[in-house]
Amino acid sequence: MKFKNPFSKNHDLDEEIEAHIALKTDYYLEQGMTEEEARKAALREFGNAERLKEECRDSWSMRVLSEWLQDIRFAWRQIRKQKGYSVLVAGTFAVCLGLNIAMFNIYNSTVINPRQYENENRIVNVYETYDDLWGDNRVATSRIYWKERSEQAKSFEAIAIFGVDWANVRILGIDEVSDFTGVARITPSLFEVLGTQPFTGRALSPGEGYNEALLNYDYWQKKFDGRSEILGKTIQINNSTFEIIGVMPKGFALPRSKLGNLPPDVYTNYGAMTFSFQPEWRIRPFGMCVALLKPGTTLSQAEIELNQINLNNGPNYPEQFRIEQEQNHKTVIIPLGKHLVRDFVYALDLLKFGLIAILLIGSINITSLLVSRHHQRSNEFASRIAVGASRFRIAKQLITESTLLAVCGVLGGFVLAILILNGLSAIGLFDNFTIPPRDQLDLESWVFGIILSVIIGLLVGAVSLLPMFRGSSHSHNQRTSSFGKSYKYFQGSSVAIQLSIALLLLISSILMFLSFRQAMEIDPGFEPDGLFTAGFRPAVNDDTKRLIIDKFFAETEKYPELQSVAISNWPPLKLGGLYLRSLYVEGDNSPTPYQCFNDTVSPSYFETLGIPILQGRTFNPSEVRNQSAVAIIDKKLADRHFPGQNPIGKRISIPSEGGSVSIEESDERNWLTIIGVTQTIRNRRLVEAPTHGTVFTNLHRQTPYWNGVMVRSQLNETRIAEILKKIVGIVAPETGLAMPKMMTALIEKQRAPQKALSVLCTIITSVSLTLCAIGVIGNVSYTVSTQTKEIGIRLTLGAKKFQLLLTSTKFWLKTGATGLICGAIAALFLSPFIETYLYEVEARSISTFLSAILFLFIIVSLASLISARKGMSLNPVEALRSE
């Protein structure tokens, strides 16, 4: 059947009628009438043209439309008649949809389509893995790997490498004192890889050796109020000068995890750094590597190519190649989006899992609510079928009703999604995301929401109509009785499925909560409360550095409110700065050196941080002054290398100790005598137990790369920072105080992924439990209410109420038990998967399983008991009359 434009049809009809009247007028003219009489007669005989048009239109498609309008009006009346039911259905739909849309928006704007960089779909992160070389399973790329790949790899359009470090920055002619701030060293190819262009000015010139710099947009705004005359000025970074050639775009962030990373204010050419391509730099982490895949190249193709390049070039560096082989070196490529959210990847994975569960519970709930409603109206349907209504017509009306409810649910869902996004953003859940999720719904999320609602609407609508089409309409009694029986089993199985899913979620949620509590209670090994951390880095030689450190401590003496002050190479939990060193133990002739962390600290370090000294003592002033060959080790190292022995007096050697970063072995060992054993601390990540022991050497023997400052005081962060800035201004005027932060804030930041996981888990579980409880209570009470006739008969025949109560609840208790057993089996089956999200919590914890099962069983028992009691409280006569 062809559909024609209704407007053109209307026009044709008008013309046709006009032609008819004109022809009839001509006919009457021929009969001898005057023109006026003929026209009048024709019009009179034609009758009401408008009514005729209406009738014609009726036969086109208007009837279908008016039927729909009638159905909509009817559905709206039904919805208003059953307000509670309608709110429940539309509300459940809105909650399911709202949560899913909100979480899709988060996932889409952080992983799938962050719209951060022009080429982001083809940008990959490249990193190295070694079994046990650097104390981390994900290591930055070395400068030699990067050089080899830039020259030899065919899978990429461009490969870039970058790193960020603290530096003293001063714009000549403008700044009087330097800012101690982050400076990014990037390869010019980074602009090509990311597809980024400067906001103003130009990108870095290709090649090395150009002393050019670009400013971060916010830094430019803050320092120069957005004035463009900054271009061409000279900026001094440590001891080198650079020309300012541009400003990066607003909101630009380097493609890396934000957690624990320093945001740079200045970007310079990597080549401006003085570095060599000496063999030892082949396996030394240098910078974050990002690359732009050629169109059509897959991740695995590129990964295979890079690993082949590693193997081809390895023999040029025999010593490093041997270590690569021993340490099972691999180069890994992952999409940039995954890399950026890696700290939150568990939280985002969990979202997918939780949302599917909510969708299932919600859909089952809505289906059973619709089925209950249809069941309740089965008498009405049977009567209508008996007087000639077609099942199709009734089904159409029911679909209209469900669609109308779904439309209300969809609108509610979108509103809820916007509220959730704003709410999560307001509580700061996304503060540590590299790319904060968009708090406005993006186009993809709208499309996702609409597609999802159509799919759920169609599925739920179709499933809820199925029981209606069973049995014959001629035998109403038989039909309703078979429908009733199948209905009971339908409700039973939906309760069982809901309970299984809810149990799975509840168990996961309890485990996540316990895991979060564990993470909250992690003992970092030191006392974080009242501990202030910062740093400064004088770019001077070791002797001057020693003088500066001494002067620094002398200045702090003038402030008695600073109870204790310490300096180390790198404050704990600031991420980075700590790498593994080779360790030799006197008397142990193992051919391969052990690995250990090495930090260089002032004698006050342990007291300031509150790290207990378990054996021996800290460095004394003369050992510091004389740069004595003594060391303090932590318990982990002592347990590893001196089990059951007293390590005090034993000797160890770290070849790279003494400021050199060479990993070459030395025959002439600088033996260090152990003078103390301390508690092991969490030095890198709070949730990551140290993989290796630590050797502390004294500050004057091995001067720190930069000075991590730790202060214990009752003063607040601002006051301590003010004092320290003043002191640093005196002892190292060319530098500044970096990263002033209370340790508690650092710990809070480190807990952010667990917090995000816990908040999301709580939301998902609360919603699913509420939906599940509504489903269980609704199903049980409705089924009991349909049995009032049976109850009436039994009560009349003399059955005891208690007995009936038992019979009625037995079915639901059995159903509940079945659902819970299935859920428990599923949880057991999925426990290895759940365990990957947990921190120091056993996924198969019996107490968690039992408490979750008990909790849900109590809900089912109470729901069935209360509903059954309500049924039993009816007078037998009233119960019989009810149907």
Judged by CB under 8 A, which of 47, 388, 621, 643 binds other proteins?
Answer: 47
Measured from the CB atom, the residue of 37 and 165 that comes closer to other proteins is: 37
Q: Which residues pair with 676 in a beta bridge?
A: 616, 632
* Encoded amino acid at 840, one letter: E
| Segment interacting with other proteins, rule: CB under 8 A, options 47-55, 148-156, 574-582, 865-873 | 47-55
Measured from the CB atom, the residue of 24 and 551 that comes closer to other proteins is: 24
Distance set, CA 18 to CA 21, 432, 704 (Å): 5, 74, 101
Q: Fill in the per-residue mask, 14 to 43: x = in contact with other proteins (CB under 8 A), - = not in contact.
A: -xxxxxx-xxx-xx----------------
Which tokens sit at 265? 């204010």
Q: Fill in the per-residue mask, 655 to 694: x = in contact with other proteins (CB under 8 A), - = not in contact.
A: ----------------------------------------
Measured from the CB atom, the residue of 49 and 799 that comes closer to other proteins is: 49
What is the DSSP track for 483-505?
HHHHHHHHHHHHHHHHHHHHHHH
Residue 662 CA, distance from chain mean position: 39
Residue 142 DSSP label? P
| Segment interacting with other proteins, rule: CB under 8 A, options 50-58, 127-135, 395-403, 865-873 | 50-58
Measured from the CB atom, the residue of 36 and 50 that comes closer to other proteins is: 50
| Segment interacting with other proteins, rule: CB under 8 A, options 8-16, 531-539, 601-609, 788-796 | 8-16
Measured from the CB atom, the residue of 56 and 613 that comes closer to other proteins is: 56
Q: Residues for the chain: how many in total?
A: 883
Q: How far is the CB of 13 from other proteins (least distance, A)?
A: 8
Q: Residue 737: left if φ>0, alpha if ψ -120 to 50, beta else—which one?
A: beta
Q: How far is the CB of 786 from other proteins (least distance, A)?
A: 45
Decide if residue 5 touches other proteins (CB under 8 A): no
Which tokens sit at 333? 């490529």
Measured CA to CA, the distance from residue 55 to residue 57 in angstroms comes to 5
Distance set, CA 737 to CA 711, 729, 733, 866 (Å): 13, 9, 10, 67
Near other proteins in 51-90, by CB under 8 A = 51-52, 55-56, 58-60
Q: How far is the CB of 397 from other proteins (least distance, A)?
A: 24
Q: Residue 595: left if φ>0, alpha if ψ -120 to 50, beta else—which one?
A: beta
Decide if residue 45 touches other proteins (CB under 8 A): yes
Measured CA to CA, the distance from residue 567 to residue 570 in angstroms comes to 8
Q: Read off φ and ψ for residue 656, nearest 5 degrees.
A: -85, -5
CB atoms within 10 A of CB 16: 11
Residue 42 CA, distance from chain mean position: 77
Q: How far is the CB of 88 from other proteins (least distance, A)?
A: 42
Burial of 26-45, coded b for 16+ CB within 10 Å and e otherwise, reads eebeeeebeeeebbebbeee
Q: How far is the CB of 388 from other proteins (least distance, A)?
A: 19
Q: How far is the CB of 45 from other proteins (least distance, A)?
A: 7
Measured from the CB atom, the residue of 22 and 520 that comes closer to other proteins is: 22
Percentages of the chain per state (helix, strand, coil), in multiples of 5: 55, 15, 30
Q: How far is the CB of 372 from other proteins (least distance, A)?
A: 40
Q: Assess contact for 630 and 623: CB atoms under 8 A.
A: yes
Q: How far is the CB of 399 from other proteins (least distance, A)?
A: 24
Measured from the CB atom, the residue of 30 and 543 that comes closer to other proteins is: 30
| Segment interacting with other proteins, rule: CB under 8 A, options 46-54, 278-286, 384-392, 858-866 | 46-54
Near other proteins in 535-564, by CB under 8 A = none
Measured from the CB atom, the residue of 20 and 625 that comes closer to other proteins is: 20
How many chain residues interact with other proteins (CB under 8 A)?
Answer: 25
Nearest to 170 by CA among 286, 265, 306: 265
Find where tokens 């550095």 sit: 545
Q: How far is the CB of 47 from other proteins (least distance, A)?
A: 5
Judged by CB under 8 A, which of 6, 35, 46, 612 binds other proteins?
Answer: 46
Q: How far is the CB of 414 from other proteins (least distance, A)?
A: 39
Q: How far is the CB of 821 from other proteins (least distance, A)?
A: 59
Measured from the CB atom, the residue of 24 and 330 that comes closer to other proteins is: 24
Find where tokens 């021929």 sit: 30
Measured from the CB atom, the residue of 39 and 801 that comes closer to other proteins is: 39
Nearest to 189 by CA among 258, 123, 92, 283: 123
Q: How far is the CB of 395 from other proteins (least distance, A)?
A: 24
Residue 805 exposed, middle or buried by CB count within 10 Å (0-12, 13-18, 19+)? middle
- Bridge-based pairing of strands 240-247 and 200-201 is antiparallel
Q: Contact positions toward other proteins, by CB under 8 A?
A: 1, 12-13, 15-20, 22-24, 26-27, 45-48, 51-52, 55-56, 58-60
